[in-house]
Amino acid sequence: MGRGKVQLKRIENKINRQVTFSKRRSGLLKKAHEISVLCDAEVALIIFSTKGKLYEYSTDSCMDKILDRYERYSYAEKVLISAESETQGNWCHEYRKLKAKVETIQKCQKHLMGEDLETLNLKELQQLEQQLESSLKHIRTRKNQLMLESISELQRKVNSSSLLKVGRWNFLFKK
């Protein structure tokens, strides 16, 4: 039969509390030793009793070395966390900037499509009109260029096919 569950709450009786502390402290020290031996881990355990008495355990290496290592690790971790939060702050700022840029572009696109014009004043409407006229001019220029190229290509084909036809029928007239 196994032990029952122990309710975790402060033991009110001083003597019982001291006995429990003593037994559990020795069990904890034993577990620390076991994990260091079984797993080849560096272990440091520090316990202060209610009266302020110090109990400690460390593996073969000295307690000071383990604590120095812990301090270096926790300092490096704090620096890393600080750098990560700074980087995260930069990403958030960059995200907000890009989001604002996208919203501005979408708004401009709506204006170019003739939508949401109520928000524009007279000067902005005139600028939009000039921009659209300039765009139309570029579009017409490109369209005319493509049409001229197409006409030239068709004329070239007509001329080359006319020469072929003349060449084919020439043999009838030679005699």
pLDDT digits (tens, 9 = 90+) for 71-96: 888 777 777 777 677 777 778 888 88
Parent domain of 54: 11-61
Inter-helix orientation angle 122-173/63-112, to 10°: 70
Report if residue 41 sits inside a domain: yes
Residue 37 falls inside a structural domain: yes
Is pTM beyond 0.95? Reply is: no
The CATH number of residue 16's host domain is: 3.40.1810.10
The answer as to whether 158 is a domain residue is no
57 within 8 A of 32, measured Cβ to Cβ = yes
Does residue 75 lie within any of the structural domains?
no
Whether 83 maps to a domain, the answer reads no
**Domain assignment of residue 112, yes or no:** no
Is 47 part of a structural domain of the chain?
Answer: yes
Domain tally for the chain?
Answer: 1
Domain-embedded: residue 122: no
Convert 80-96 to b/e letters by CB count within 10 Å (16 or more is b): eeeeeeeeeeeeeeeee
Q: What is the pLDDT of residues 15-73, one digit of tens each?
A: 999 999 999 999 999 999 999 999 989 999 999 988 889 888 998 768 888 888 888 88
